[in-house]
């Protein structure tokens, strides 16, 4: 499981011109799920995201978590995070999980984050053509991969 986490002052996702999800302060998370991923990956990554301290404190240091700043999450499924670019100019996506595996893990990820944050998580729609807008605050962008926990 791979995530790109961006600290944002605002973010939204539109599908067919209609806003599906939007947040103010928080994280916009692009989530890629691969065939090898399990519920353990969901639990580890959602815990890391919920507790990540990258929001400024009174001294301007990145010491506060989402809970500390009443932040929200906009979660977007992003199978292209597992693109292989080794051969040719057209990326391959064979590592990305098929929908029958990815959708249940994506839905479990949403529930896990909602439980950890004790609030609703805004989302896009799995497999839809989405238009994502955000204002990256900082900018702060962090990538995480559950296969690189050490």
Q: Is 70 left (phi over 0), alpha (psi -120 to 50) or beta?
A: left
Q: How many CB atoms lie within 10 A of CB 148?
A: 8
Catalytic residues: 80
Digit-coded pLDDT (tens) for 51-66:
999 999 999 999 999 9
Break the chain into its structural domains and give their ranges.
2-145
DSSP result, 44-105: HHHHHHHH---EE-TTS-EEE-TGGGT-EEEEEE-GGGG-B-SSSSS-B-TTBPPHHHHHHH
Q: For domain 2-145, give the fold.
A: 3.50.80
Q: Are strands 122-123 and 72-77 parallel, antiparallel or unpaired?
A: parallel
Record the pTM: 0.94
- Percent helix, strand and coil across the chain, each rounded to 5? 25, 40, 35
- Given a cut of 80, whether residue 150 has pLDDT beyond it is no
What does the block give as tokens for 71?
């932040």
| 65-106 residue pLDDT tens | 999 999 999 999 999 999 888 888 888 888 899 999 999 999
């Amino acid at each position: 499981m791979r995530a790109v986490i961006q600290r944002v002052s605002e973010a939204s996702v539109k599908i067919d011109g209609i806003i599906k999800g939007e947040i103010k302060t928080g994280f916009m998370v692009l989530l890629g799920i691969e065939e090898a991923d399990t519920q353990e990956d969901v639990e580890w990554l959602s815990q890391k995201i919920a507790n990540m301290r990258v929001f400024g404190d009174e001294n301007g240091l990145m010491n506060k978590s989402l809970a500390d700043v009443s932040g929200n999450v906009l979660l977007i499924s992003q199978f292209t995070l597992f693109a292989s670019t080794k051969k040719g100019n057209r990326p391959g996506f064979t590592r990305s999980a098929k929908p029958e595996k990815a959708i249940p893990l994506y839905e479990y990820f949403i529930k896990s984050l909602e439980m950890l944050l004790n609030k609703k998580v805004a989302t896009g729609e799995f497999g839809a053509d989405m238009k994502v807008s955000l204002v990256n605050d900082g900018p702060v962008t962090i990538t995480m991969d559950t296969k690189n926990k050490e």
